[in-house]
Amino acid sequence: MNRKWLMALALAPLAVVAVAQRDGRAADHLDGPGATKDPAADITDVYAFTSPETPGHLVVVMNVFPLATSAAKFSDKVEYTFRIREITGTSPVTLGATALDIKCTADAAATKVTCAAPGGLTKTVDVGMTTGAATDDIRVFAGLRSDPFFFDLDAFKKTVADKAPAFTMPGKNFFNKANVLSIVVEVNTMKAFGKAAPILTVAAETMRTGS
C-alpha cells in the first residue's frame, strides 16, 4: 500500500493559518520515480480554507496528477483522504483523538467520485461537473483544473548551477497552462465536526489499495 502525504493547518470558519508540506514547502510536484509512475496518487497541493460564500463551512482541496491532460483520470484503486483532527491545545499543540476524516473514492470507470464526511455527510458527483448549492451541508467537485502553483523552474536550475540567485521579476511560471486533477469538498462544520468554529489540522493522503 503506497502512501503520500501533504499537510495544511486551518481555522474554520475564521481563516487559514498555513499550508505546509512534510519537507516545509506548500506544494510538491514531479516527485521521484515511484510517485511519477503513479500520477493518479501523486499529490501536488493541499489547501484548507473557510468558504468565501457560506459562514461556518470549511473547504478542503486535494490536487493530484501533475501535468494532467484531458485524458487523466482518478483511480478506483486509490483512496483520496483528508485526514482531519481538531487542535485541542496550542502550547504545546495537542490533537483530539477522534478522526474527522473525509474520504473520497472513484468508481471503476472513473466517471464518478464519492466523498464521505463525518456526520453521515455523503456526496457522489460526476467527474468534471459543478453541482450543489452554497447552502448544502456537503458539496463536491472532482475533475480537471488549472494548476494553481507558480514556480520558475529555469531560474531555479540556474540558481543551483551558478550558486547565485537567478530569479527575476516577473518570473516565468513553469506550470503556466498546466493542469491537475482536483478534489474539492465543502462541508458544514457544525454538521460534520459538531462545532461551528473548530481549529483543525488537515493532511491530504493518497493510498493505493490495488494495481
Does residue 31 fall inside a structural domain? yes
More confident call, 155 vs 148:
155
The pLDDT value given to residue 151: 84
The pLDDT value given to residue 75: 96
More confident call, 96 vs 183:
183
**Residue 150 banded pLDDT, cuts 50, 70, 90:** confident
The pLDDT value given to residue 8: 47
The pLDDT value given to residue 13: 37
Does residue 167 fall inside a structural domain? no
Instruction: Tell me the three-class secondary structure of the chain, residue by residue.
Output: CCEEEEEEEEECCCEEEEEECCCCCCECCCCCHHHHCCHHHCEEEEEEEECCCCCCEEEEEEEECCCCCCCCCCCCCEEEEEEEEEEEEECCEEECCCCCCEEEEECCCCCEEEEEEHHHEEEEEECCCCCCCCCCCEEEEEEEEECCCCCCHHHHHHHHHHCCCCCCCCCCCCCCCCEEEEEEEEEEHHHHHCCCCCEEEEEEEEEECCC
**Residue 4 banded pLDDT, cuts 50, 70, 90:** low
Domain of residue 109 covers 3-150+181-208
Kindly state the average pLDDT of the residues 118-136. Answer: 96
More confident call, 39 vs 26:
39
The yes-or-no verdict on residue 48 having pLDDT over 70 is yes
Kindly state the average pLDDT of the residues 94-105. Answer: 93
What would the pLDDT profile of 173-206 be if each residue is shown by its tens digit?
888 889 999 999 999 999 999 988 888 888 888 9
Does residue 111 fall inside a structural domain? yes
Which residue type does 28 have?
D
Q: What is the pTM of this model?
A: 0.84
Does residue 143 fall inside a structural domain? yes
Mean pLDDT highest for which of 47-51, 140-144, 200-204?
140-144
Our count of domains for the chain comes to 1
The yes-or-no verdict on residue 78 having pLDDT over 90 is yes
Does residue 176 fall inside a structural domain? no
Does residue 7 fall inside a structural domain? yes
**Residue 27 banded pLDDT, cuts 50, 70, 90:** low
Does residue 171 fall inside a structural domain? no
The yes-or-no verdict on residue 5 having pLDDT over 80 is no
**Residue 3 banded pLDDT, cuts 50, 70, 90:** low
Does residue 118 fall inside a structural domain? yes
